[in-house]
Amino acid sequence: MSQFENTRIVLASRPEGRPTPQNFRLEQAAIPAISEGQVLLKILYLSLDPYMRGRMSAAKSYAAPTDIGQVMEGGTVAEVIESRDPSFKLGDIVLSYSGWQSHAAASGAQLRKLDPANAPVTTALGVLGMPGFTAYAGLLTIGQPKPGETVVVAAASGPVGSAVGQIARIKGARAVGIAGGPEKCALVRETFGFDAVIDHRDPDMAGKLAAACPNGIDVYFENVGGHVWDAVFPLLNTFARIPVCGLVAQYNASGDFPGPDRLPMLMREVLSKSLTIRGFIQREFVAAQGPAFRKEMASWIADGSVKYKEDVVQGLENAPEALIGLLEGKNFGKLIVKL
């Protein structure tokens, strides 16, 4: 690759169901020129996240879709290699939203400086970044776990789920995780310290979950939907809170959802058990809670009460396969591409 070229991955076509490598295109472009107030960034790390599947689709959502031919969106950690903003100097490391490319121009106002002496810079994409904040804001604002209560979360080895369980324990609740496969379950139990963990591929997942929650479920932090929700639903206690954070089990679905209409049953339970079900997009809480999150999460990491795991893939060209795998549980920890 020439140092004068920007390597980037654009959306080539919209997927029907499961994305394929053909939905992406790797191309070269000129490195952008910067204007006054801007910096030129060399991207070091790209975050891969489940929401990117939504951006590939034209379906109506909370954010506009990526256009065909446009660079795939994404959070990045980057180095400043040219600056026309006096508050940034060459070599500064910043958090930016530059997407799937090797270089990008950005306005200084859109960047947050990172101090590599404080924490590994990749944590700004995971435990100290958007996914960690999602867990913090969704659990504490909507879930409101109390000492002795039972909190259940799936995708428990990932950046959101692992933080949910560990914060729940810090607040004195029992954390029950759900994850796919023995390796992930061992991580959730042994490293993240959950009180119990269930493998969602176990044919008796529902029975095992019931046994792990003898006092029912007070908070279900919804990350996946699908068959996990079916197992959780009968165990919800009166006044249970359900922050609806994600439904990754259905992101690749196309067309209508199969099966009978279960909405009347759901509404009956919402009423008779006084359930609180509240969806959220993390950014609605950023202005009010972002600074407190960064301070509190940094102190939990420092004192060892929150641990994290990263899964680093080498090379931008491998990002499409890695994102496709993420939607099927092939990642093992916060998925990051090292450029």
**Which positions lie near ligand NAP, rule CB under 6 A?**
49-51, 131, 134, 154-155, 157-161, 179-180, 184, 200, 223-224, 226, 228, 245-246, 248-249, 280-282, 326, 329, 331, 335
Residue among 97 and 280 whose Cβ is closer to ligand NAP: 280
Q: What is the Cα–Cα distance from 228 to 206, expressed in whole angstroms? A: 8
Pick 108 or 161: Cβ nearer ligand NAP: 161
Q: List the structure tokens of 297.
A: 């999460």
Locate 84 and state its tokens.
């026309």
List helix spans (H) across the chain. Answer: 51-55, 130-137, 159-170, 182-186, 205-212, 226-232, 263-272, 286-302, 319-326
Q: Which residues contact 115 (CB under 8 A, 6 or more apart)?
A: none
Taking the complex as a whole, the smallest distance from the CB of residue 336 to ligand NAP amounts, in Å, to 10
CB of 66 to ligand NAP, least distance (A): 16
Please, are residues 323 and 74 in contact by the beta-carbon 8 Å criterion?
Answer: no
- Closest approach, Cβ 294 to ligand NAP, in A, equals 16
CB of 54 to ligand NAP, least distance (A): 8
The bridge status of strand 93-96 relative to strand 112-114 is antiparallel
Alpha carbon 246 to chain centroid distance?
A: 9
Is the CB of residue 31 less than 8 Å from the CB of residue 40? Answer: yes
Q: Which is nearer to ligand NAP, 81 or 229 (CB)?
A: 229
Q: From CA 315, how far away is CA 201, in angstroms rounded?
A: 31
Distance CA 34, CA 19 (A): 34
Q: How far is the CB of 300 from ligand NAP (least distance, A)?
A: 17
Cβ nearer to ligand NAP, comparing 106 with 198: 198
Of 73 and 92, nearer to ligand NAP (C-beta) is 73
Min dist. Cβ of residue 53 to ligand NAP (A): 8
The one-letter amino acid code at 287 reads: A
CB of 140 to ligand NAP, least distance (A): 14
Amino acid type, 276 = T
Nearer to ligand NAP, 210 or 286 (CB): 286
Where is 271: in which H helix or E strand? Answer: helix 263-272
CB nearer to ligand NAP: give 39 or 322.
322
Helix (H) or strand (E) run with residue 52 in it: helix 51-55
Residue 2 tokens, joined: 């020439």
Task: For tokens 């489940």, name the residue.
Answer: 50
What is the nearest approach in angstroms of ligand NAP to the Cβ of residue 206? 13
Q: Which is nearer to ligand NAP, 7 or 47 (CB)?
A: 47
User: Residue 164 CB, nearest distance to ligand NAP (Å)?
Assistant: 9
Distance CA 177, CA 161 (A): 8
Token pair of 27 as six digits? 């191309």
Judge contact between 46 and 336, C-beta under 8 A: yes
CA distance 177 to 128: 21
Nearer to ligand NAP, 121 or 327 (CB): 327
Question: Euclidean distance between the first and final Cα of the chain, in Å?
Answer: 12
Q: Are 31 and 79 in contact (CB under 8 A)?
A: no
